[in-house]
Structure 1
Amino acid sequence: MMRGTGSRSRIARRAAAVLVGLVLGVLTVPLDLAAVAVSPLSPRPVRAMTAFAGQRLRTWYGAQPPAGPTGHRATAYLVVRSLLGVLTALIAALIGAGVVVTTGIAIGAATGSAVPVFDAPEPGRVTWTTVAVLAAPGLVLGYLAVQGLFGVVGLEIRLWKSFARPGSGALEQRVVQLTATRAEVIDAIDEERRRIERDIHDGVQQRVVALSILLGRAERETDPAGQADLRRRAIAETGHILADLREVSWRIYPAMLARDGLRSALEALADRTPVPTHLDYRPTRRPPRPVESACYFTASEAVTNVIKYAAAQRIDIIVSEADGMLRMQVRDNGRGGADPAGHGLTGIASRITALDGTLSVDSPVGGPTIIRVEVPCA
């Protein structure tokens, strides 16, 4: 018995939520049309109303729609959605009129009074026979009207999904963009491999050679004091080799990033940076691994550029999340003048673009330099 009561309660709450969503859909029709009217002047109202429509589908209809339409497709979506809102208002008006007529007929049959809404201005014209004759078609019409309202819900969800899909022109542009991004990523990977090879050849390999020389001299040395000194130098050189190997491994892929996530990796990056670096990390959940990797290497490349060229006294790394986007900002107070077309920045831009993200560089001469990144993380 309690299970049946709980089921009915859930159905009632679900129906009430859907009705609230339908009412909001009707009330926002003027706002949708106003956003469409001003879209040639500013796209922001269209974006705002489209975002509200998506939130309404999630909150009141319980749907999980994909990312919403953009550009001209968002404007077209609002136009068609407004028509659905008008249709909802008409169905609701028919239901309201049916309720008024049904109530008047029932009262007239019970009291014998006139029923003007049913074209029966004289008392006694409406009887229970009249009610019995009209009951069956009234129930059918009421059922169809209610089904029409719930049909609008399905239409709204399908409408959102239809306009959220990119058009042929957007798909063609996306293919071109992915082709270019793939070539850029391949170039960036090749350049990174060459840099790792240089680091190993010019750093680790040279230190290994120096270590082998020290060990060879220690074997040939007959003086105990000289032999002990050579061994101490060899131990110190071993420490330098381990430090260089750790640096190379961090450039390839830091183990902390895979194990502990983006926040821990950025904290370690800040600790290892000679320039005072301050991290403000706000997301409460861990982003997808590809997003973490792209953002970490973007921050790492930006910090490396600051150390090499900017002569900055401070670096700020700010990471936040909103509207399904992970946003990162790397800011320094150096001399500015960073070239967005430089090889390093181009390489990290390819990483971001491959994830449907965006990267922008604002670096006027004299500073400050701000690198902004936005990556979808839904």
Structure 2
Amino acid sequence: MPGAGRVSTVANVHQVEQLSAGSLVRDWFRMLVGLTLGSVTGLAGLAASAVDVFVVELTEYELSRIARFDRAVLTNPLTRKGCRRYLAVRWLVGALGAGVLWMLAFWYAIALSMVTAWLLDGDWGFIEEEGVVTLGLIGIVAIPGLLVIFVTTAGVVGVSVLDRWLATTLLGTSQQTLLRERVAELTSTRAEVIEAIDDERRRIERDLHDGVQQRLVALGMLIGRAKRARGEEQLQELLQQAHDTAGEAIDELREVATRVYPAVLDDAGLDAALEVLAERSSVRVAIRNKLTESPGTALETVIYFVTSEAVTNATKHADPSMVEIYLGPDGEDGITIVVRDDGVGGADPTGTGLSGLARRVKAVDGDFDVTSPPGGPTTVYARVPCG
């Protein structure tokens, strides 16, 4: 039917408006309850701050109350001094809330009495004398009374916002500050990722120049000598050397390609890629993978390169007899990566390899840490979020 879509749209908009109004009413009543509890605990907080007892416990309660009846506050780690200062100021907000509640109850009681008078006595606030209708006392009081009721009702929201603002200011970090810190962190991370990419490119170029390119040059020279060989025995010897050099060049090229990105990671997944890593390592590598499902291609790539670089660093610098790799969920929607070796220890976290790993993990908002006392063992810890 023509116009049916418009009717449906109007109905949907009306429903959304009703839901929004209902949500506002529910939020107001929730803030009212929170404000009532906060008014009661205000004096308790002042007393606790004066004698310096239970300040941390009361602060934790206030934060949980704000989170339950309004919104959660992002705070720094609570200290006794900070909690005491917060409670010493917060009683003012509690007193203000108590005043708002008293005014709210007072004016709503007056409004209820007026409505009762109008309904029972029929006095609607108008007086008629000699044909002239004027406002009576009830009518005169009703107009400013309604305005006061509205302002007092809005005061519940205002005090709740002030309560949350005070907790954020004295105990935590504002949203604007968090946003600025996040922008600065992302800017720094982007610069570090670009630097890590450039370092990787330089390393690949060195590997190709010092390894594969030199093998190919030697291969060309061997083939040239074979073409000038005078005897069958010398020709066969040079061809064998050329064959061996070509095999070495292929192995080094495959090694470089694997360091750029292992094809087995796409073809067979993380388990197979780690198995290949263990097989190609010059030391024994033990793998414990507790992941029950794939975290996705992007995270699998990060996990693989973290473990691969950690194993390579251990093999080159720590002289270990065994390297252990552990992967598993951390219970907080993240994945834990631990690479431990029994080598000589003393690893420098600011070195090229480990700092590159830190940048790679930080690029996905992960955590990275290295523990390497002299004499070992060395433990590389990383955590990457799955969200």
TM-score w.r.t. structure 1 length?
Answer: 0.58
In structure 2, the residue matched to 1:135 is 142
On the 8 A contact 1:271/1:277 being kept in 2, the answer is no
The alpha-carbon distance between structure 1 residues 374 and 366, as it changes in their structure 2 partners (threshold 3 A), is: same
How much has 1:304 moved relative to structure 2?
Answer: 1.8
Q: CA RMSD in A?
A: 6.0
**1:315-371 Cα shifts (integer Å, max 9, x gaps):** 113465849xx6643232524634345623345446667888753323456765433
Q: Which amino acid aligns with 2:151?
A: L
Q: Does 1:372 align with 2:372?
A: no
Counterparts of 1:204-283 in structure 2 under 5 Å?
204-216=212-224, 219=227, 238=246, 240-251=248-259, 253-254=260-261, 268-269=273-274, 271-273=276-278, 274=281, 275-280=285-290
Q: Secondary structure at the match of 2:25?
A: helix
Is the contact made by 2:204 and 2:256 (CA closer than 8 Å) also made in structure 1?
Answer: yes
Q: Does 1:95 align with 2:104?
A: yes
CA contact (8 A) 1:26 1:86 kept: no
Structure 1 residue 78, shift from structure 2 partner: 5.8
Q: Deviations over 1:43-89 (max 9, x none)?
A: 997997898689669xx66x9x9xx4536899589667776566445
Tell me: CA distance 1:190–1:331, structure 2 relative to 1, closer, same or farther (3 Å): same
Corresponding letter in the other structure for 1:2: A
Structure 2 residue 333 is the aligned partner of structure 1 residue 317: no
Q: Which amino acid aligns with 1:247?
A: E
CA positional deviation for 1:144: 0.8
Match of 1:359 among 368, 372, 375: 368
Amino acid at match of 1:139: L
Greater CA deviation, 309-318 or 196-205?
196-205
2:105 partner amino acid? G
Change (3 A) 1:233 1:2: farther
Q: Which residue of 2 aligns with 1:11?
A: 21
Q: What are the ranges of 5 or more consecutive residues in structure 2 without an aligned counterpart?
A: 1-9, 122-134
- Segment of structure 1 superposing worse, 302-311 or 333-342: 333-342
Tell me the distance in 1 between the aligned counterparts of 2:212 and 2:384. 35
Tell me which residue corresponds to 1:345: 354
Q: Distance in 2 between matches of 1:339 and 1:43?
A: 43
Specify whether residues 9 and 225 from structure 1 end up closer, same or farther in structure 2 by C-alpha distance, changes over 3 A only. farther
The CA distance in 2 between the partners of 1:332 and 1:88, in whole Å, is 57
- TM-score, length-normalised on structure 2? 0.57
Aligned residue for 1:209, secondary structure, equals helix
**For 1:46 and 1:347, how far apart are their aligned partners in 2?**
44
Aligned residues: 338
Q: Larger deviation: 157-166 or 196-205? A: 157-166
Cα distance in 1 for residues equivalent to 2:234 and 2:313: 43
Partner SS, residue 342 of structure 2:
coil
Counterparts of 2:293 and 2:35 in 1: how far apart (Å)? 32
Aligned partner of residue 370 in structure 2, secondary structure: strand
| Aligned partner letter, 1:314 | E
Superimposed CA distance per residue, residues 13-32 of structure 1 (whole angstroms, 9 cap, x where no aligned partner): 24314543564476478599
| Matching residue's letter, 2:217 | V
Q: Which residue of 2 aligns with 1:125?
A: none
Gaps of 5+ in 1: 113-127
For 1:158 and 1:282, locate their aligned partners in 2 and report how far apart those are by CA, in whole Å. Answer: 43
What one-letter code is carried by the residue in structure 2 that aligns with 1:91?
Answer: V
CA-to-partner distance for each residue in 1:181-235, whole Å, 9 max, x for gaps?
989x96x788766654553344323432343245446655799999899778766
For 2:18, the aligned partner's letter is R
